[in-house]
Amino acid sequence: MIGFGPHLMVDGYNANYEKLASVEAVTEFLETTVSEIGMTKIMPPYVFKYDGGDKPEDWGVSGFVIIAESHISIHTFPEKRYFSIDIFSCKDFDIDKAIKLIKEYFETEDLEIRTTDRGTEFPRDISIATSITNAQRNRLT
């Protein structure tokens, strides 16, 4: 198999204000999502509230959890009832289940969903890497 893994990107609209505004709720989301989609947490979630800087209406909560397989991140904008979530993994995971968890947790059906495969030329197996390298070298000679 070649390729690093799937990357799920979700933009959510009209989400639950209280959950978007809560460091505790975002922490809980990160904690539960890791185990629900079969990943391995290697550090506790890092979650903090941002004051919005020059645009106070852009305050929100951001969080990140490093998993053995890569990471899950979230940024919320409660005043706009918006969030963005990225789940990137070097192993396959149930994308539909992840989307369902996001919808249920943030209480919205209004999602913009994108997926992509990252590192499509990343060789997972050294024997595959060797055969690819040898094939490319043979083409050059």
Q: Hey, which residues are catalytic here?
A: 70, 75, 90
Q: Alpha-carbon distance 58 to 103, whole Å?
A: 22
Q: Yes or no: say if 3 and 127 are a contact pair by the CB < 8 Å rule.
A: no
Q: Yes or no: say if 60 and 77 are a contact pair by the CB < 8 Å rule.
A: yes
Query: Mapping DSSP to helix (H, G, I), strand (E, B) and coil, where does residue 32 land?
Result: helix
Nearest to 10 by CA among 118, 98, 111, 80: 111
Phi, psi angles (nearest 5°) of residue 105: -65, -45
Q: What is the DSSP letter of 63?
A: E
Q: Alpha-carbon distance 36 to 33, whole Å?
A: 5
